[in-house]
Amino acid sequence: MNFKYIKNIVPAAAICLSLGLGSCVGDLDVTPIDPSTNMEADYDALFNKCYANMALAGNGGANGDCDIDGLDGGTTGFVRQLFNANELTTDESICCWGDEGIPAFNYNQWGASHPMLKGFYYRLYFGITMCNFYLTEAADYDATMTAEIRFLRAMYYYHLMDCFGNIPFLTEVSSDPAPQVSRNEVYNFIETELLEIESQLVTPMTGTYGRADQAAAWILLSRLYLNAEVYTGTAQWAKAAEYAKKVMNSAYKLHTTPKNGWSAYQMLFMGDNGENGAQCEAILPLLQDGLTTTSWGTSLFLMASTFKADMTLVGTATNGTTELWAGNRARPEFVAKFFPNGDAPAVTTAEMVAAAGDDRALLWGKDRTLSVDDVADFASGYSVTKFTNFYTSGTAKHSQFPDTDYFLMRAAEAYLTFAEADTRANGGSITTEAKVAIDAIRTRANTSIKNTYSLNDILDEWSREFYYEGRRRIDLIRFGQFGGNGEYKWQWKGGVKEGTVFNSNLNIFAIPDTDLNANSNLVQNPGY
């Protein structure tokens, strides 16, 4: 295995290019460049910038200028808004902050002016602009690097298609307003791109840690196919299972070896997760080193927003950072995934894990109420202790910004994708091979193995394994339990404590009103 690092990303200077999306990256009122001036692009730096867009707000780190004009780095942080859009809107999380946009997420009441969705939208398009620029200027520079940039562009478009439906689309840098294309067309583009570049990417785990390889393309393809019925109206279960199996048969494996009292599952979300053994599962990690690749909207957000000073994991230490923002915590319906009888104890994380009989129950119930009776009170609802800055030694290297890489894609996804897709292809009845995949996930968590699993069991397993990792919304949509569904309710769903149905049009977010005003080609998604 070759675990070379690109830990210290040095992004290129921000390149303010228009995707034809109005205020995406700022004004273009600049003095014309003298054509006689000799200018050379730094292709390696531009390449790094395409990756860094997911991990950093801008070129100056956490406190530097944001790449997105008019919005701060936290509001546009890729991971932060991936979380907000896909976790706060579901049964897994709720936030006590009153920041503009947070209540709308909590209560499923967003619209076209939502500031955080706007930040997410423009962050994704900024990434596409960087990728398009690289492919225009440096497509012949290095074949593998070109394939990686095409992968990144496909991934950015995937998130836009998933969240915003019919979207502006360009594959080159242009000052012209982008045309709007259908969700189905974007789906076809992503599929075609990934299939074309598959052979041009390096084989799994032979390249640089932090860069995409074939397994990243396979994961994205399997994710695309798993949700194909949502995106196109036509299911692709066999293809989803096929590409998930490619990952399962690759060099990437579930991390199963605990260390120094930390469970194998905990080690995936710790400060030394790029070197403690958990990297065997990290198909696409976003790199954070606590010193140069610092951000308010990546790993720090996930641990700071979930911790308060009264929570201690190592001696008197909290999460391994000085940042304790006390915002996001669990809704009771998520806690019920580990305690289906409603008997979750009000105890520390170590005691909670023991009571649940599942290493993934990284919850804090001491001095908390299970029910979220007061949304504005952090102690109303159990806390989540999944992400920390501790090394497996029990100490943290940097005190403020974490060293914890964010595993945007990890091998466990392939196991559950295969299990679900194979079961659906078999008419909803679990196959032997699908059961083996689920059993592997549960064995790693040191929890019990069941005789069989239903599709709803698999949905619950998705939640237990991937909570707070920015995917719950699409899983609920795929199972018909999000917008338009009044049977499955969670506290404060639709803005009512007992939970109520909200309209199915909210399964897709609104195109930001700023872009509608700037681009006459765009038509708003239905229902907004």
Q: State pLDDT tens for residues 76-118.
A: 899 999 999 999 999 999 999 999 999 999 999 999 999 999 9
Q: Which residue from 205, 189, 187 is spatially nearest to 197, judged by alpha carbons?
A: 189
CB 259 within 8 A of CB 276: yes
Q: State pLDDT tens for residues 463-509.
A: 999 999 999 999 999 999 999 999 999 999 999 999 999 999 999 99
How far apart are alpha carbons 402 and 415 in whole angstroms? Answer: 29
Percent above pLDDT 90 for the chain: 87
CA angle 380, 381, 382 (to 5 degrees): 130
Average pLDDT on 381-391 reads: 98
Average pLDDT on 248-263 reads: 98
How far apart are alpha carbons 516 and 22 in whole angstroms? Answer: 9
pLDDT class of 39 with cuts at 50, 70, 90: low
Structure tokens at 116: 């955080």
CB 319 within 8 A of CB 398: no
Structure tokens at 501: 């149905």
Percent above pLDDT 70 for the chain: 92
CB 412 within 8 A of CB 465: yes
Structure tokens at 48: 């790094």
| Residue 411, pLDDT score | 98
Structure tokens at 126: 């900024």
How far apart are alpha carbons 216 and 198 in whole angstroms? Answer: 9
Q: State pLDDT tens for residues 337-370.
A: 999 999 999 999 999 999 999 999 999 999 999 9
How far the first Cα of the chain sits from its last, in Å, is: 50
| Residue 62, pLDDT score | 82
Q: Which residue from 68, 77, 76 is spatially nearest to 14, judged by alpha carbons?
A: 68
pLDDT class of 68 with cuts at 50, 70, 90: confident
Average pLDDT on 311-326 reads: 94
Give the list of residues 6+ apart from residue 120 with CB closer than 8 angstroms, or none: 76, 78, 81, 82, 84, 85, 163
Q: Which residue from 7, 5, 9 is spatially nearest to 47, judged by alpha carbons?
A: 9
Q: State pLDDT tens for residues 18-33.
A: 333 333 333 222 333 3
Give the list of residues 6+ apart from residue 408 with CB closer than 8 angstroms, or none: 54, 79, 284, 285, 286
| Residue 12, pLDDT score | 31
Q: Is the pLDDT of residue 66 over 50?
A: yes
Q: How many residues does the chain have?
A: 528
Please report how many Cα atoms fall inside a 13 Å half-sphere around the Cα of residue 272, on the Cβ side: 15
CB 252 within 8 A of CB 215: yes
Kindly report the average pLDDT of the chain as a whole number: 92
Give the list of residues 6+ apart from residue 72 with CB closer than 8 angstroms, or none: 57, 66
Residue 402's Cβ-count burial label (10 Å; 0-12, 13-18, 19+) is: buried
Q: Which residue from 31, 27, 1, 4 is spatially nearest to 14, judged by alpha carbons?
A: 27
CB 74 within 8 A of CB 297: yes
Structure tokens at 39: 């200018």
Q: Where are the alpha helices (H) located in 325-388, listed in sequence order?
A: 332-335, 349-356
List residues bridging with 317 in a β-sheet.
314
Higher model confidence: residue 217 or residue 69? Answer: 217
Give the list of residues 6+ apart from residue 360 with CB closer than 8 angstroms, or none: 265, 338, 445, 447, 464, 465, 467
How far apart are alpha carbons 50 and 168 in whole angstroms? Answer: 19
How far apart are alpha carbons 108 and 481 in whole angstroms? Answer: 13
| Residue 355, pLDDT score | 98
Q: From the CA atom positions of the chain, what is the Rg in Å?
A: 22
The least confident of 47-61, 113-127, 420-434 is 47-61
| Residue 69, pLDDT score | 81
H or E, element range at 410: strand 406-410
| Residue 399, pLDDT score | 93
